Structure 1
Amino acid sequence: MKKNLLLSIFSGLLLWIAWPPTQYTTFFLFVGLVPMLIAMENIIRADVAKKGKKIFATTFIGFFIWNTLCVYWVYNSLKIIGPVAAAPISLIPYSLGPLLMATACWLYYRVRLISNRALSLVALVCFWIGYEYLHQSWDLNFPWMTLGNGFATSHKWVQWYEHTGVYGGTIWIWAINILLFLLYVGLREQQGKATRIKLIIASFLVLVLPLSLSLFRYHSYKEQINPSNIVVAQPNIDPYEKEGIIPIQTQIEALTSLSDSIGQRNTEYFIWPETALSQDMDEDHIYTEVSYLQVRKFLNRFKNANVLTGGETHKFYTKRSTKTASEMPNEPGMFYDRFSSAINIENSSKVQFYHKSRLVPGAESLPFGNTLSFLKPAFEHLGGATGAYGMQTEPTVFYSQSGIGAAPVICFESIWGEWVSKYVKQGAQFIAIITNDGWWENTSGKDQHLDYAKLRAIETRRWVCRSANTGISAFINQRGDIVQQSKWWVRTALKQDINLNSDITFYVQYGDYIPKIASFLAVLGIFMIGLKKGFKH
């Protein structure tokens, strides 16, 4: 048991070493799961009772180590409620993913009871991808640790994400780990030399062919010349001082000054970060809001430009028009929604709104409605208004007066490849990510968030223009290269001539087809386990 536990811990450490933002160690992803597979095989072959429980417990420990070391920064965003309260709440993101990962391994064991090793390993990959897809789809969504995200610092290796999305990376990692595991098993079981040679050749080909194709695609990819001048501003305002301490007019003055310092006559978009307009505004009366008028005054100097910014907005209704609408206190029959919004302002009366749709569980939405309502007092301290944010079911593309389509992606949403691809399918020619990563302080969280944006550029073949309140702001080209980036905790602005693109990639066209197929097969596998009465063992 101790040996298997050490193998599991070793797996967790290998995966952590390989994970972004660490560079030059990505290759450990190809071996990081091998010790875990060996530990599970040891338990399956051992003459012990309750093997399923042992596999679940053993794998959970390794995955918990991997997840916790990679997303330790979640704790920083909770420190405002005090260390005593922050520690247990942090266990939710630290533990939930590993619980689902360990469940996938437990299901693998159940399939081994009714099938051979080869088919069971295929089932394991399906169960794993099924967990990843669930973890991006349900109310407790947190797809940060999807295996395919691990190539974010080695984006040259996965240019074929334009066909598969990050789930292609998950399959690639599992395929090589499984082949190496089978090679180890072959040596331990003294299988024939021919079998070992086949496994060596298969491992080599599965590693080299996708890598070679990707590098060829990277070096041969040429952007169509279709320039547009974009400015991103990084005001570097302490997120804990944005509301109530620093006047909103002062914050906007900082943004307009930064933008004006490098703006050009041909600048199409000035992009400001999430909640840059932190004063809550009525969408139906925005033309009288002081913040809006201040932005319009700035745009007088740039007649053809747009300001794409984040802001806090609300709408009032005379009936419950949306599922998220709340009744007005002391005003029966009146309802309202609050939104974390992206707002497009131009030199006309037209204002475009998009309401953040992938909300942070706890901070911006209450998972599972009233079921977890007892946690509301704790979650209300996380920087949001729990349960009070409305959302959209489909993305909205912003269009400039000249017809340029921009995808307004707000913070957490940039982790969802398929969601971002929907903007592109609707006509977005570049991606504008607006975020505020200051809650995590100077930790690897902000770096991971930036690195993941590179994968969205590859999947969609769109430039990414990233404006972060306290860093890191950046421009990323269609190959996933960071062309420019700011430093952390620096007030600055960047400008770049990007190339607009209107072509549609295979992934944009078909979305997350891989996890949908894998999830179907996973459900089929669970059904077969029950049918064969595997749960009785």
Structure 2
Amino acid sequence: MLSAFLLWLAWPPIPFTALILHVALVPLLQAAENIIQSEEKKKGRLIWRIAIICFFIWNTACIYWVFNSLNAVMQGWLAIIIAQIPFCLGAVLMTLAFWLYYRLRLITSRIWSYAGLICFWIGYEYLHQSWDLAFPWMNLGNGFAESHYLVQWYEYTGVYGGTLWILLSNILVFETILAVKSNASKTNKIRLQISTAALVLIPVLSSVLIYNNYEEKVNPANIVVVQPNIDPYEKFSTLSSADQVAKLIKLSESIGQTNTEFFVWPETAISKGTEERSFRGDENFIRIQEFLKNYKNANLISGIESFAVYDTAVTETARFDSKSDIYFDVFNAAVLIENSAKLQFYHKSKLVPGVEQTPFSNSMAFLKPAFAAFGGSSGSYGKQSEPSVFYSQSGIGSAPVICYESIWGEYVADYIKKDAQFIAIITNDGWWGNTSGKDQHLQYAKLRAIETRRWVARSANTGISAFIDQRGTIVQRTKWWMPGVLKQDINLNEEITFYVKHGDYIAKAGSAGSALFALLLLAGIFKRPNIKKDPPQRNGSN
């Protein structure tokens, strides 16, 4: 319970508490060690029980807001049941990693067990960002999003560097406590204390040094982001698409200037389902072209609900319309419109499980009606396999990142590899109401700015729109549930960071390590447990 409380207290958007993450797992490690040293029977069940309680409370306390969006579209009791998917699944995977650490403790030394814990945990995080039920929201490295000045070195490691830092720190703090409580030598105690302090303080001091000395190269571009504040539960029903576009144009014109390069509108800003090949004849496109004529170099990045029609099922997600005898894909997309007939589309790739895609659709197609019942689609949205960059008339590359995609560091880095000079996040965070969900989503965008050293122009329909500089500092932001428009001269960047070049190498190494430790467990899992009682009281570093 103490670990759960400390993890919650350290999590965004609660400010100034990120360093608590370095001790938050210590009570759980102590509880596990007490069980291992005890005469209790069925120790594995006890380990599983204490871990699942800890991680379920932590996950639920931090992402309780998921329930809000579900409760708005279904009966309360059903929303409670469905909400257990994000609440419980992450907690179960975390618990599995911790239980595997316990199994290692039965057959090997604490040092190797700790190495296994680190690998199993990083392996779980990487799995949870890679499979059809992906929800990497609670990766430990995200915990520093509020205190971004502490992790400027994410440009080298990404968020998995933060996960590794937290795990190592908790292990060293725990070992130091064991050594102090034992009759270990004074030298051993001092060595552990110095190592622990160094592991925590050196990354902090180096990050603060980078933060204070980082200088952007001057390469300005004027960007405008718009927040229309249209209720997400009404924008597809009570307010016409034409009226929404008119509101967006009015807000844009209120602050646009002759040298504005990009206007950024939020996710599904063009809410009318539009066939992409015929979009140039759509009334919304015509009105937007008229608006852009007043800004010679301007481009518009906007969210759009679009679809594509096929004669045959050319994609796995294509749906069949028996009335018209055609196949079609529906997209949560972004479009780039400029002062010409040229159009560029990007189809959201990282889809929300259940709402935008049916997880494991080939083997679990029978779940489509259930997902459709709570606001999802009866068929998965179409998507791209990789990101694509929008290029303006003047050659500026922008990364059109749609909502949920902004929590994938490596995926956003792929835009930068393709010459994106700034990141445009278009989102709609009003589904969750006035909860910490919208704040967490905004804070996580700061980590993408640090990893890539790119400005972020964030346009939210009913969330929080903002500009974030290359250090991850929010320089402008709108208020919640209010129409707003911001403009900023950002600095474009063409340099590639170490993280952008190498991606989630820590996650991949950890996942490989978890596979090796799993083989070790398979080789020794049937051995009779032979834990010597109270080994830490004799040697705190053993």
Query: What is the TM-score with the length of structure 1 in the denominator?
Result: 0.97
Which position in structure 2 is the counterpart of 1:455?
A: 447
Task: Work out whether residues 307 and 344 of structure 1, in 8 Å CA contact, stay in contact via their aligned partners in 2.
Answer: yes
Aligned-partner SS, 1:32:
coil
Of 341, 354, 367 in structure 2, the residue corresponding to residue 362 of structure 1 is: 354
Which position in structure 2 is the counterpart of 1:5?
A: none
Larger RCO, structures 1/2 (Cα 8 Å, 6+ apart): 2
Which position in structure 2 is the counterpart of 1:509?
A: 501
Which position in structure 2 is the counterpart of 1:282?
A: 275
Task: Work out whether residues 107 and 527 of structure 2, in 8 Å CA contact, stay in contact via their aligned partners in 1.
Answer: no
- 2:9 aligned with 1:17: yes
Identity of aligned pairs, percent? 55
What stretches of structure 1 of length at least 5 have no aligned partner?
Answer: 1-8
Task: Work out whether residues 368 and 377 of structure 2, in 8 Å CA contact, stay in contact via their aligned partners in 1.
Answer: no
What stretches of structure 2 of length at least 5 have no aligned partner?
Answer: 530-542
Which position in structure 1 is the counterpart of 2:339?
A: 347
Q: Distance in 1 between matches of 2:412 and 2:374?
A: 25
- 2:269 aligned with 1:269: no
Aligned-partner SS, 1:232:
strand
Task: Work out whether residues 319 and 379 of structure 2, in 8 Å CA contact, stay in contact via their aligned partners in 1.
Answer: no
- 2:160 aligned with 1:167: yes
Of 45, 57, 61 in structure 2, the residue corresponding to residue 65 of structure 1 is: 57
Of 103, 116, 120 in structure 2, the residue corresponding to residue 127 of structure 1 is: 120
Which position in structure 2 is the counterpart of 1:4?
A: none
Aligned-partner SS, 1:465:
strand
Task: Return the letter of the residue paired with 2:272.
Answer: Q
Q: Deviations over 1:24-81 (max 9, x none)?
A: 1112111100001101111111112221221111101001110000000000010121
Task: Return the letter of the residue paired with 1:306.
Answer: N
Aligned-partner SS, 1:293:
helix
Q: CA deviation at 1:164?
A: 0.2
Task: Return the letter of the residue paired with 2:355.
Answer: A
**CA-atom RMSD in angstroms:** 1.2
Which position in structure 1 is the counterpart of 2:533?
A: none
Of 72, 91, 104 in structure 2, the residue corresponding to residue 98 of structure 1 is: 91
Task: Return the letter of the residue paired with 1:33.
Answer: L
Q: Distance in 1 between matches of 2:311 and 2:393?
A: 33
Q: Deviations over 1:387-446 (max 9, x none)?
A: 330111110100000000000000000000000000001000000000000000000000
- 2:144 aligned with 1:151: yes
Task: Work out whether residues 264 and 424 of structure 2, in 8 Å CA contact, stay in contact via their aligned partners in 1.
Answer: yes
Of 39, 49, 53 in structure 1, the residue corresponding to residue 31 of structure 2 is: 39
CA separation of 1:535 and 1:476: change in aligned 2, threshold 3 A: farther
Q: CA deviation at 1:185?
A: 1.6
Task: Return the letter of the residue paired with 1:468.
Answer: A
Aligned-partner SS, 1:428:
coil
Q: How does 1:312-327 map to 2 (within 5 A)?
A: 312-327=305-320
Q: How does 1:365-404 map to 2 (within 5 A)?
A: 365-404=357-396
Task: Work out whether residues 104 and 124 of structure 1, in 8 Å CA contact, stay in contact via their aligned partners in 2.
Answer: yes
Matched residues, number: 528
Task: Work out whether residues 107 and 525 of structure 2, in 8 Å CA contact, stay in contact via their aligned partners in 1.
Answer: no
Q: Distance in 1 between matches of 2:86 and 2:333?
A: 25
Which position in structure 2 is the counterpart of 1:187?
A: 180
Task: Return the letter of the residue paired with 1:523.
Answer: A
Q: Distance in 2 between matches of 1:402 and 1:10?
A: 55
Q: Distance in 2 between matches of 1:534 and 1:503?
A: 52
Q: How does 1:328-347 map to 2 (within 5 A)?
A: 328-332=321-325, 334-347=326-339
- 2:200 aligned with 1:207: yes
Which position in structure 1 is the counterpart of 2:417?
A: 425
Q: Distance in 1 between matches of 2:222 and 2:463?
A: 21
Q: CA deviation at 1:304?
A: 1.2
Task: Work out whether residues 363 and 386 of structure 1, in 8 Å CA contact, stay in contact via their aligned partners in 2.
Answer: no
Which position in structure 2 is the counterpart of 1:523?
A: 515
Aligned-partner SS, 1:16:
helix
Which position in structure 2 is the counterpart of 1:82?
A: 75
